[in-house]
Structure formats: C-alpha cells, structure tokens
Chains A and B, each alone.
Chain A
Amino acid sequence: MQISGAQMVIEALIAEGVDTVFGYPGGAIMNVYDEIYKQDKFQHILTRHEQAAVHAAEGYSKASGKVGVSMITSGPGFTNAVTGLADAYMDSIPLVVISGQVPMSLIGTDAFQEIDAVGISRSCTKHNYLVTDAKDLPRVLKEAFYIARTGRPGPVHVDIPKDVTAQIAEFDYDVKLDLETYKPHVKGNPRQIKKAMEAIANAKRPLFYLGGGIINSNAANEVRDLVHTTGIPAVETFMARGTLSYDDKLLIGMLGMHGSYAANMAMSETDMVIALGARFDDRVTGKLSEFAKNAGVIHVDIDPASISKLVNANYPIVGDIKNVVVEMLKHVPMIKSDNYEPWRETIENFAQLHPLTFHEDSERLKPQWVIKRVGELLGDDANISTDVGQHQMWTSQFYPFTRPRQFISSGGLGTMGFGFPAAIGVKAASPEKTSINFTGDGSILMNCQELMTAVEKKLPVINIILNNNFLGMVRQWQTLFYDKRYSETDLSVQPDFVKLAEAFGGIGYRVSTKEEFDVALKEAIERNIVAFIDVKVERLENVMPMVPSGGSLFNMMLLEKKESK
C-alpha cells in the first residue's frame, strides 16, 4: 500500500502492538502528529517536557515489559530527550524514540531547530537511524523495535526528516529482517553451564549475585527456583530488587555502597560468586582488588562485553538468563544444599550482628519510617518508583518488594527528575496498582511540571516527598568527607509543595507526624488524584551502612549504636 512516511510511523506502531505513546509535538514532527490525531488505535500522552516523555516511556516499559515509545520534535525537543535516552541506555530499557528532523534539503544549513541528532544519540543509544527515504521506513522501524527488545535491551533512536514523513512510498511491514551482523547469543553453552554447576557443587560458600538482567529476561521465577532448590544464599543489586521476595529466607539483601552489612560481608567471604545478569558496577564492588577476593566467578550475561569487563570470570556464560537458568536447574541434583548450612549460619550471624535498621526519633519523622510504613500499608499493591538520592537508597533498603517490575528507578545514570514521569508511565501501564513515587525536595523540582500530565490524563501518582530541606546525598558526603562545608546543598528556600500541587489541579498535604502521614496517604489513595505529600523529615539523617567511594565492601561505616538517653 502506498502511504506517507507519517502514516507509516502510525501503521508500524500499530503493527508492533503499541498502545501508549509519550510525546511532545513540534514543527519537524507535525506530519506524524497529524496522523496521530486521525487514529484511535493507541493513546498519546502529552507530557510537559520531552525529558519526561522519555522517562515516562521508560517507566511504562519497566512496568509492562514492553518496548516504550516516545515521540519528539527536532532540535531542543530532541536535546531535551537525550537524558532519557542515556538513562535507558545505562539501565538497558527497551525504547523506540522517534524524533522529527528538519527537511533533507535543510540538513547541515543550521536551519531552525536543527541539530545533528544521530550524532548526539550515537553514544547513548543501542542503535540509531537517520531515515533519508520513506521507502526505508518500514524496515528501519521494524529493526528498531527488534533491536530494542532483543539481546541486551536498550533504546533505539529513529530520526526522520520532515519531508520524509510527507513522502509517499510502498508500506509493507512484513519485511523480513536481514540483520546479518546482529545475532544476540541467547542460548548458553550447555557444557560450560554444567562445568559451572560442578564448580558450585564443589564450593563451600557459594553466593548468588542477582542483577537487573534477570528482570529484563523475565527470569525471576526460574531464579527463585534455582535459589530455593540449591539453598544458596543470594544478594541483589539495586536493579534486581524484587527478584526474590523481601521475606525470602535466602535473600541476604542488597549489596554495594549502601548494601546491608550481611550482604557485603557475604560477598567478601564467598568462594564462588554466581553472577546472573549483573555487571559489577563500581557502586556494587567498591574497591575492585578487594572484591570477592578469594572467590571463583561464574558470570552469566547476554552481553559478552559485560563479562570480564571489571572482574575476571572463571566461567563466562553468554546467554539469556532465563535459558541459562533453566539449563542450570537440570543440574541441581548434583548440589548438596546441606553442605552450605555452615555458610548460611555465618551469614545469619552477620545479619544479626548489624541488621539493616534505623533509629526512631520521638521529635521528628525518620524518612526510613515513612518508606516502611508505606510498605506495611500497601506492600504488594503498589508499584514503587523513586528519584535519585538518599530517599532512593532508603527505598531500596526498606521497602518490602515482593515481585520483579515493582521497583522502577534510575540506577546507572542516576537521573534526578526520573521518578515522577516514570511513575506516570508505570500508572499508564498498570492502572490497577497504586503508583507511588518516593522523591526528595531536590529531585521533585526537576520534573514537577508533570503534575499537569498526571492531572490531564487522570494518572493519580502519589509523590511522597521526603523533605529534609537538603540535597541530601550530596549533603551526606559533605558531612562525611568535606568537613561539613555544605556548598550549595541547603534547600531551605523552597516552594509550598501543597500549593504547587493544587495550582495544577492536584492535591497536596504537609505532614510532620506519623498520624498525619497515615491520614494523608489514605486520603490521597481514596481521592484518586495526583498528589504531593510533603513529609518533613529529620534533616541530617544519613544513609547507612555506607562503603566510602573506592573503599572495600567489608570496610563499612555502620549505623552508630543508639546512645541511651
């Protein structure tokens, strides 16, 4: 069928089963928006900033497991979206981001709203395209979706000049993909897997190191089976939260800079690390030369470039986690779970020595209490997103996650302003769950304009602002490592968050006691409108334990024992 490039974009999105697009129109993408207006197969959610459009698509993708789609215009529209692309690239989130470009005849002339978009996105996307002829569009779009969701997932950017969206050409979406140079290796080598399982059977203190790849591979059930049938304890990375339920006896906790004492000690004492879809990030390993120093390493990852990048793997296995774990399960009978009993006891002792906890205060609300409280009240019924900073670490530490895709946060890039738009995307993907965004008084201002999107589209995200009048995480470092020189981190001057929410048609609460908080949360859920709950919390609370940057995992700063009053 002969249709315009703009119509091709619509037809391709429909063929891919896209039901929601997040975007913001502008000159160069207008032909496509004209076709969006004429169709009713998918909804378009107008965010109030292009960065938010991409974060919303990320949230949507993470909650649903589908490819997120976002649409933006050229020039500033595109440059605003770059942070979102980079964020999705770091966290391996499958996205297709379509941008308008100035007409072909104007490319390279410094035309109005022109920027070399593919030149910019090259280093922060899995792949990108500049489409110079409408006849290439069906193939390019099909490839874009395929590349985004297969292998190690990631964002794909498609830049389409305005005249190409107007051009008429043949549309046939049944084109066969011919990607001779892109063949992700999904099946792990069975012999290598068997050897790895033998190594586990011979180990005395093996440890599962669970990473975000498990979530991307939808392999949590299989991994749970593997953990339970082997009886081997597990630590999770920040990106893997929810792989095991919080109350799983074999889950030690999160490891890394703000990981629990027991998790970090287990990693330091293990003799066999079994890394599943984890990438030995610097926030996880601390000082590399001391990381799991006496351990062999089994590393399963779909991305060969991740294996032995930082820590040498004795048993490298390239493959999709789900496939590999299914294969591993076949060899479970060779493993004697009882052999690990002393190891499990050692870990239990670590956990009792320094449990993950905080000190309550009669005067002021503690941010950790707020997170625990939401966990008690909502638990499994809520999807949780966060911004970036102290509140993010506390959420990972204290929220009782029960399932994969429940926790949506910016891990690799650490993007402040991610949480609220992501929560909007999460709510759009999964409207039956309450969508909570834990945020800080710093982060929330970085995309607070999305109140308008949430009000207009009736996506009642509840933003819980853990307000300490500080850029808390930077302040914590200044306290600990910069002799309390609080350079530009005091956020005492701040808006009235209640009025801010109300100004957009949302609802706001300001609370400073436990009772007030309970009332506000209950009411916000009942009223089903986007909400800001401004929670005044202890100003100088630190995230503990903490491995100072570049330090060894076993050298943690710990929560000070409470002095008796």
Chain B
Amino acid sequence: MNDNNERRVVSVIVVNEASVLSRITDLFSGRGYNITSLTVAPIPESKYSRLTIVTSGSIRVIEQITKQLHKLIPVLRVYEHSDLVEKEMALVKFPITENLSDISAICNAYNGKIVNVGNDVIITMVADEPKRVDHYLEAIRKYNPKEIVRSGAVALER
C-alpha cells in the first residue's frame, strides 16, 4: 500500500490549545500511517506551538496529509521540509563499571558528553543528526547501555 515509502519531515505551527495534538495525529492514524517521531514545544512569546513530525509514506499521501493539516482550524502553517537542518538528542545510561574514557570519547565524536555521574550509573547526552544518532547508538552497544531515550527530531529549513 505504501508505495515509494520515503522518510518525510513535516513541521506544523499550531495554536497551543487542548486537543490540537490529537487533531493532527488523527490525520495520520486515520490513514494507517505511523508517526516515527513527534516533538512539540511552545514557541516563545506566542500563543503557538511548533510540532516536528517524522513519518514515512508515499509522497502522494503525505502531500494529501499536509493539505489536510492546513485545513485544520488551529493550524497556522505547515512546512514540508526538503533542505533542512535536523537534530535529535539521545540520553543513554551506562553502568559505572564500563570503560568511561571510551564512552566519553565516542560521545565527543557525536556532539555529546557525560552529563550525570551517580554511584552506579553515568548518563550521557548526544545531540546530532538523526542518522548520526543511529550510528552513535550502534557504537556504544558494546558498553552495555542500560537505558536509551531519544527525543525525536527537530528541524529548521536552511
């Protein structure tokens, strides 16, 4: 069904009010489309919020969803990105017994560092392009990460 599946990033500016998020996600779920990641935060000093949605699907359907998003009453603007700067954050928890200097060096390579040191665990943070975050998570696998959390992407057009 999902011919020409392609990764797409859509940003939506919406009025920050109750139920607006479900109005938007309904358009995806109603077509059987999955949202890969979704980030929402208020835009400073305005009544709006900005959503960044990463999804995949046929161009035709994504275009249709974009138009339908526009139609929603609380939606101010929809950007379907092509040329963009995209970043994602990941927090990872490691046992303190792992090789901390190795982990720290890898974090450095991916715009990150150790952000918290406890008695039993350390927590690292990296912020980079989603693909690079994938690579980072691949690289640290052998250090037995106990927990991983990714933020979902945020993006701005160049």
Of the 9-residue stretches B22-30, B86-94, B126-134, which lies at the interface with chain A?
B22-30
B71 at interface, CB cutoff 8 A: yes
Indicate if the CB atoms of B73 and A147 lie closer than 8 Å. yes
**Residues on the A chain within 8 Å of B22, using CB:** 119, 122
**Residues on the A chain within 8 Å of B30, using CB:** 123
**Shortest CB distance B100–A (Å):** 47
Indicate if the CB atoms of B73 and A182 lie closer than 8 Å. yes
How many chain-A residues does the 8 Å CB contact rule pick out?
Answer: 16
**Residues on the A chain within 8 Å of B67, using CB:** 304-305, 309
The closest CB in chain A to the CB of B76 belongs to A181
Indicate if the CB atoms of A181 and B26 lie closer than 8 Å. no
> In the bound complex, what is the Cα–Cα distance between A270 and B71 (angstroms)?
32
Q: Most chain-A CB neighbours within 10 Å: which of B22, B64, B73, B74? A: B73
**Residues on the A chain within 8 Å of B18, using CB:** 130
Instruction: Compute the total of residue contacts between A and B using a CB distance below 8 Å.
Output: 34
**Residues on the B chain within 8 Å of A147, using CB:** 73
B144 at interface, CB cutoff 8 A: no
**Shortest CB distance A467–B (Å):** 38
> In the bound complex, what is the Cα–Cα distance between A118 and B17 (angstroms)?
14
A114 at interface, CB cutoff 8 A: no
A303 at interface, CB cutoff 8 A: yes
| CB contact list, A272-327 vs B, under 8 A | 303-305, 309
B81 at interface, CB cutoff 8 A: no
**Shortest CB distance B78–A (Å):** 11
A127 at interface, CB cutoff 8 A: yes
Indicate if the CB atoms of B26 and A305 lie closer than 8 Å. no
**Shortest CB distance A334–B (Å):** 32
**Shortest CB distance B46–A (Å):** 10
A422-447, CB under 8 A of B: which get 1 and which 0? 00000000000000000000000000
Known: A122-B26, A123-B26, A180-B76. A303 touches B71 (CB 8 A): yes
Indicate if the CB atoms of A181 and B74 lie closer than 8 Å. yes
**Shortest CB distance A151–B (Å):** 9
B135-154, CB under 8 A of A: which get 1 and which 0? 00000000000000000000
**Residues on the B chain within 8 Å of A175, using CB:** none
How many chain-B residues does the 8 Å CB contact rule pick out?
Answer: 17
A353 at interface, CB cutoff 8 A: no
A179 at interface, CB cutoff 8 A: yes
| CB contact list, A341-393 vs B, under 8 A | none
**Residues on the A chain within 8 Å of B19, using CB:** 118, 122, 130
> In the bound complex, what is the Cα–Cα distance between A130 and B20 (angstroms)?
12
The closest CB in chain B to the CB of A305 belongs to B67
The closest CB in chain A to the CB of B63 belongs to A308
**Residues on the A chain within 8 Å of B68, using CB:** 305
| CB contact list, B1-54 vs A, under 8 A | 14-15, 18-19, 22-23, 26, 30
A109-131, CB under 8 A of B: which get 1 and which 0? 00000000011001100110010
The closest CB in chain B to the CB of A182 belongs to B73
Q: Most chain-B CB neighbours within 10 Å: which of A126, A130, A182? A: A182
B70 at interface, CB cutoff 8 A: yes
**Shortest CB distance B15–A (Å):** 6
**Shortest CB distance B93–A (Å):** 34
B75 at interface, CB cutoff 8 A: yes
| CB contact list, A178-196 vs B, under 8 A | 179-182
> In the bound complex, what is the Cα–Cα distance between A163 and B70 (angstroms)?
34
The closest CB in chain A to the CB of B18 belongs to A130
> In the bound complex, what is the Cα–Cα distance between A127 and B71 (angstroms)?
10
Indicate if the CB atoms of A181 and B71 lie closer than 8 Å. no
Indicate if the CB atoms of A305 and B73 lie closer than 8 Å. no
**Residues on the B chain within 8 Å of A303, using CB:** 71
B23 contacts which of A122, A305, A309 (Cβ < 8 Å)? A122
**Residues on the A chain within 8 Å of B70, using CB:** 304-305
B71 contacts which of A119, A123, A179, A305 (Cβ < 8 Å)? A305
**Shortest CB distance A412–B (Å):** 16
> In the bound complex, what is the Cα–Cα distance between A534 and B70 (angstroms)?
48
| CB contact list, A139-181 vs B, under 8 A | 147, 179-181
**Shortest CB distance A118–B (Å):** 6
**Shortest CB distance A291–B (Å):** 16
> In the bound complex, what is the Cα–Cα distance between A222 and B26 (angstroms)?
38
Q: List 30 A-B contacts (CB under 8 A).
A: A118-B19, A119-B22, A122-B22, A122-B23, A123-B26, A123-B30, A126-B73, A127-B73, A130-B18, A130-B19, A147-B73, A179-B73, A180-B15, A180-B76, A181-B14, A181-B15, A181-B73, A181-B74, A181-B76, A182-B73, A303-B71, A304-B67, A304-B71, A305-B64, A305-B67, A305-B68, A305-B70, A305-B71, A309-B64, A309-B67
Q: B: which residues have CB within 8 A of A?
A: 14-15, 18-19, 22-23, 26, 30, 64, 67-68, 70-71, 73-76
Q: A: which residues have CB within 8 A of B?
A: 118-119, 122-123, 126-127, 130, 147, 179-182, 303-305, 309
Q: Which 5 A-B pairs have the closest CB atoms?
A: A305-B67, A181-B76, A127-B73, A182-B73, A305-B71
